[in-house]
């Protein structure tokens, strides 16, 4: 496996806990996006990006500067996977929209995106993170569907791990 890092933005600790869980399974570092630098991006071939969703489907606040750092970096040839936290009941019309904002901010960067997830096992009305009928990464609702979180992470990692 090439050098992998998990980069997350978390306001309540949920996305951070999930990032740390994924990092422990991949035996790599989880880094708060507040600490992201161009040198860190350059040092890793694989970037796994995690964000919670706020307001009307927006990125977690710390990601706005982090997204700029990613946009200013050379992501050509890097592999990127995205996961996001959301609330499919209270915000079913913007479920994990932060994932969509993150993807849209770097989709033309030259990076290779992996880890799309079928929408079949999710109940929601709309999401900016759905492209061509699939989520662009792993959506998690650790509020209403916490009983599915570990299984969803395991299944996602089984798909993306061979590509890292």
Residues 6+ apart with CB under 8 A from 144: 87, 88, 89
Q: Phi/psi of residue 90, each to 5°?
A: -75, -30
Q: Which two tokens stand for residue 70?
A: 């990613």
Q: Assess contact for 16 and 67: CB atoms under 8 A.
A: no
Q: Assess contact for 53 and 99: CB atoms under 8 A.
A: yes
Flag whether pLDDT at 48 surpasses 60: yes
Q: Which of 92, 151, 161, 81 lies closest to 122 in space, CA to CA?
A: 92
Q: Which of 146, 142, 156, 57 lies closest to 100 in space, CA to CA?
A: 57
> Which residues does residue 112 pair with via DSSP β-bridges, in sequence order?
79
Flag whether pLDDT at 55 surpasses 90: no
What's the pLDDT at 52? 95
**What would the mean pLDDT of 51-80 be, rounded to a whole number?**
95
What ranges in the chain are assigned the alpha helix state H? 14-26, 38-42, 63-72, 97-106, 146-160
Q: In this predicted model, what pLDDT tens digit does every residue of 20-45 receive, in sequence order?
A: 999 999 999 999 999 999 999 999 99
Q: In this predicted model, what pLDDT tens digit does every residue of 82-116 receive, in sequence order?
A: 999 999 999 999 999 999 999 999 999 999 999 99
What's the pLDDT at 56? 85
What's the pLDDT at 38? 96
For residue 125, the 8-state DSSP code is S
Q: Which two tokens stand for residue 26?
A: 């991949």
3-state DSSP assignment of residue 139: strand
Flag whether pLDDT at 1 surpasses 60: no
d(CA 82, CA 47) in angstroms, rounded, equals: 8
Flag whether pLDDT at 2 surpasses 90: no
């Amino acid at each position: 496996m090439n050098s992998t890092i998990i980069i997350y933005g978390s306001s309540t600790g949920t996305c951070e806990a999930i990032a740390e869980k994924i990092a422990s399974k991949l035996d790599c570092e989880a880094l708060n996006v507040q600490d992201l630098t161009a040198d860190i991006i350059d040092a890793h071939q694989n970037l796994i990006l995690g964000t919670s969703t706020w307001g009307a489907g927006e990125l977690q606040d710390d990601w706005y500067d982090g997204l700029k750092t990613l946009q200013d970096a050379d992501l050509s040839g890097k592999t990127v996977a995205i996961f996001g936290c959301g609330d499919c009941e209270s915000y079913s019309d913007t479920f994990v929209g932060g994932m969509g904002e993150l993807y849209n901010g770097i989709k033309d960067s030259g990076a290779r995106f992996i880890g799309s997830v079928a929408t079949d096992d999710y109940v929601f009305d709309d999401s900016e993170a759905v492209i061509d009928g699939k989520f662009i990464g792993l959506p998690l609702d650790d509020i209403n569907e916490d009983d599915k979180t570990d299984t969803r992470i395991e299944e996602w990692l089984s798909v993306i791990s061979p590509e890292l």
